[in-house]
Chains A and B, each alone.
Chain A
Amino acid sequence: MSDQTHETEHSPKTGGHSVDPQLTDDPMQEASLHVEKWEGIWIRVSVGMTVVFIAAITLAALSFGISVPGATARINPATLNDPGSPFATPGLRELAPGKYEAYMVAQTWNFLPDKLEVPVGAEVTFYITARDVVHGIKIAGTNVNMMALPGQVSTLRATFDTPGTYNYICHEYCGYVAGAPIGHHTMYGQITVLPADETAQVTTE
């Protein structure tokens, strides 16, 4: 219908004086948006669903503390090994009983360190940056999932309640030279959560 509208508009009759009330210049006469009954109901349901989704996400973020990385700190990738840089000696540090921080560097093509050991129940705050290109890290079994960017420090916290070994894998493509033994797909590390009786063996730097 609408594809032909303008042809009618320019038919010879256009010079006449007939007036379509739908299309006069008076805005009050303007046709309003007509919505069918069930369509209107569905639109309300859609708005409701969207609001509920946003509320649920907000609630989860506020009450369960499930958060995403934010703005933490910046560091020049060329200065990672400078004295005083926390990334010069990457690894785990105990802050208080059961509370740790882990400084990590992602680089082509490994994590520093690529092995971590924590006692069960440990709460670890991870700080990670990249030395060269963009990398990523997801620690299996936790909500730690973040990008590692050169120039930026990413941080998230996780508590390890179940003994076992968990992989942390680089999940952003970071290169591979044909035929080389290592590359993006070999870049991973492991965090071992020790049962309570082995806790004494935990190494802290």
Chain B
Amino acid sequence: MSVHTLSAAELKARPTPAPLTAQDLKIVDRLAGLNVLIGVLALSFGALFGVFQGLEHAKVFNIYPWLQPAIKTYYQGLTLHGALNALVWTTFFICGFFTFAFVRSINRPLKYPWMSVVAFILMVVGLLTAAVPMLTNNASVLYTFYPPMLADWAFYVGLVLLVVGSWVVGYSMYFTYYAWRQENPDARAPFIALTSTITMVMWQLATLGVAAEILFQLLPNALAPVLGYPAPGLDALLNRTLFWWFGHPLVYFWLLPAYVSWYAMLPAQTNGKMFSEPLGRLVFWLFLLFSTPVGFHHQFADPGIPEIWKYIHMIFTMGVGFPSLITAFTVVASLEIGARARGGKGYLRWIGRLNWGDPSYAAQNLAMILFIFGGIGGLINASYNVNMAVHNTMWVPGHFHLTVGSATTLSFFGISYWLVPKLTGHKLFTKWLALAQAWTWFFGMVFFSNAYHTLGLIFSVPRRTMLGEAPYYSSQWNPQMMESVLGLTLLSISATLFFAIMLFTWILPRKLDRPIEMPVAQPLDPKPAPKWLDTWWPWLNGAIALIILSYGPMLFQLIRDAEFWSKGIRVW
């Protein structure tokens, strides 16, 4: 295609592109496979506790007396469920998927493959370190670990290593991207390589808040009794603010990898093309800008933060909904091109001609459908005063099981259905089981989340509570509780199927008939995106500036006026 005029000197200065060899891919694929393996194990173990909680809520069956002494309380189980499913499964899967997809997209070996190996080792050591206190009931603080509640130091050290490991996964990508850019100064960055790198940069900015919380507040307090110095004390509000600096962009770290797949892979899986590739790039840059300056919308109900700051963050939160609205059009248009190419007709009848027979496709399309409702619920949560009606009620777990539990997790299931056969060289076990898995998850989440939304909105039922033992349990809740159990039953079947499909795909030696390649959707309009959609500095500086503007003044006040009145307490 395009050829650029170069002087002899320019040509000489340009580094020679490094060819991608089978050996390079072998390291990448091994890392991707190990990441996915750990992710699937974490998901399966964590989901088990989700089922236990749901059955306890509905007073169907309280398993906790039978889990003694291995699992001490409901809340220890809840900590495991949140940490393993929301943090471990997602982070490992994303790091594996991105490493795999980034290298293939940029078509260049990793600049420093050892860096990705070190990253993986850090993440595994972190996971094991944090697992010890979680499994021994020494860190039953839930995955938000709000101080003054204080866990065993190993929990925080493990989290730090896990997060730093995921940073290093990003660094390995940045160095590779930079090297590629040196070799190809005029080329447009391949879509998947660019968008996965943007996601990792967003993650880097987002995790600075929680890193500061753990390094400057939680670890010094948790280590005090171990090392024998007086505990410096904690400021509850400052810590919540630092946590939510991280806590909301965290959800975009879960979502954007699914978006990478929806934009750049899924259309190819149903004979479609990317409807407007440049706009897709713009969407990811907007997420880089708006993901972080939104954290106060998780603190609408907090004291100590002036209403004006909550209001400002509400506006940004509405702003971060905007790229998702664009996505709703662009991705659906990309899929419609595919459906029409497959013979689809009419205003809506084409939907039937999408590639529903492919479990990888079906799972991700179902994930999108659930995300429509997750997104609408998100706008409601962000709506400042409306949030008062639902804050910390069952509405909230109802909501995020549609987002991280469906948009993200069901999409990752779909991705696994081509990625794991690709990595193992084995046929998927089997197409029909995988289809059943996707649909049971879909309907399971429909019932489950509808029930929880209703319980929160109508009856103000609190979240993160062992409801079956609560004295205020009301028989009015029964219809929704039964609905949630129906959802839970389907979800249990689905999770079991997923685990079995992954296991048998891996261990059964059913060799692939033909090799699988990563699906890559081609743009409908072959004209390259304008250069400003490939240029980092305005977006990255803009993102940093927005963080400083939206958090700077308030954080400065909170730090200046911090009172470390609270001592870490163990309340479990």
Report A's interface with B, CB cutoff 8 A.
1-11, 13-20, 22-23, 30-36, 38-39, 42-43, 46-47, 49-50, 53-54, 57-58, 60-61, 66-72, 74, 76-78, 108, 130, 132-134, 136, 138, 140, 143-155, 167, 169-178, 183-186, 188
Contacts and interface: CB of A to CB of B under 8 A. Distances in A.
A2 B104 CA distance: 12
Contact of A14 (B11, B183, B277, B304): B11
A72 B526 CA distance: 57
Contact of B563 (A10, A74, A172, A178): A74
Contacts of B1: 1, 5, 8, 20
Interface of B: 1-6, 8, 11, 17, 68, 72-75, 78, 105, 107, 137, 142, 146, 148-149, 180, 183-184, 186-192, 235-237, 240, 275-279, 282, 299-307, 310-311, 314-315, 318-319, 321-322, 325-326, 329-330, 333, 379, 383-389, 391-393, 459-460, 462-467, 469-472, 520, 522-523, 525-533, 563, 565-566, 569, 571-572
A151 B384 contact: no
A69 B237 CA distance: 13
Count chain A CB atoms within 10 A of each CB in B5, B190, B325 and give the residue with the most: B5
B305 A71 contact: yes
5 contacts: A10-B183, A78-B565, A136-B301, A145-B301, A167-B472
B321 A50 contact: yes
A33 B530 contact: yes
Contacts of B74: 176
Contacts of B6: 14-15
A66 B385 contact: yes
Contact of B472 (A36, A39, A143, A188): A188
Contacts of B282: 33
Contact of A15 (B11, B526, B563): B11
Given A3-B190, A39-B329, A69-B303, A34 B278 contact: yes
Contact of A31 (B314, B465, B529): B529
Contact of A173 (B8, B75, B187, B275): B75
B472 A16 contact: no
Contacts of B306: 70-71
Contacts of B277: 2
A46 B322 CA distance: 7
A67 B389 CA distance: 12
B384 A61 contact: yes
Contacts of A188: 470-472
What's the dominant secondary structure at chain B's contact region? loop
A145 B389 contact: yes
Contacts of B279: 33, 35, 39
A1 B571 CA distance: 57
Contacts of A67: 307, 385
Contacts of A3: 105, 107, 190, 192, 520
Contact of A30 (B383, B460, B531): B531
Nearest to B572: A175
Nearest to B192: A3
B148 A185 contact: no
A178 B75 CA distance: 9
Nearest to B563: A151
Given A1-B522, A54-B318, A147 B2 contact: no
Contacts of A78: 565
A39 B183 contact: no
Given A5-B188, A31-B529, 18 more contacts: A2-B190, A17-B5, A20-B2, A22-B527, A30-B530, A33-B282, A34-B276, A43-B329, A71-B304, A108-B571, A133-B569, A145-B388, A149-B302, A151-B565, A176-B74, A176-B571, A177-B571, A185-B469
Contact of A1 (B459, B523, B565): B523
Contact of A74 (B105, B304, B384, B520): B304
B191 A173 contact: no
Given A69-B301, A71-B305, A10 B533 contact: no
A149 B11 contact: no
Contact of A153 (B186, B303, B520, B526): B303
B466 A184 contact: yes
A3 B531 CA distance: 16
In the A-B complex, list the 7 residue pairs whose CB atoms are closest, starting with the nearest: A175-B571, A171-B462, A154-B303, A46-B325, A6-B184, A171-B392, A20-B2
B301 A146 contact: yes
Contacts of A154: 301-303
A4 B188 CA distance: 10
Nearest to A69: B303
A170 B462 contact: yes
A34 B236 contact: no
A94 to B, nearest CB: 24
A60 B184 CA distance: 53
A175 B326 CA distance: 42
A68 B330 contact: no
A38 B332 CA distance: 13
A138 B460 contact: yes
A83 to B, nearest CB: 19
A68 B385 contact: yes
Contact of B464 (A13, A133, A172): A172
B531 A134 contact: no
A91 to B, nearest CB: 20
B183 A151 contact: no
Nearest to A109: B571
A145 B149 CA distance: 21
A171 B395 CA distance: 12
A14 B4 contact: yes
A30 B534 CA distance: 12
A196 B452 CA distance: 36
Contact of A49 (B3, B325, B526): B325
A130 B565 CA distance: 12
A17 B3 CA distance: 9
Given A71-B303, A188-B472, A22 B528 contact: yes
Nearest to A128: B303
A191 B105 CA distance: 61
B471 A138 contact: no
A34 B325 contact: no
A46 B324 CA distance: 10
Nearest to A129: B303
B305 A70 contact: yes
A68 B566 contact: no
Contacts of B572: 175-178
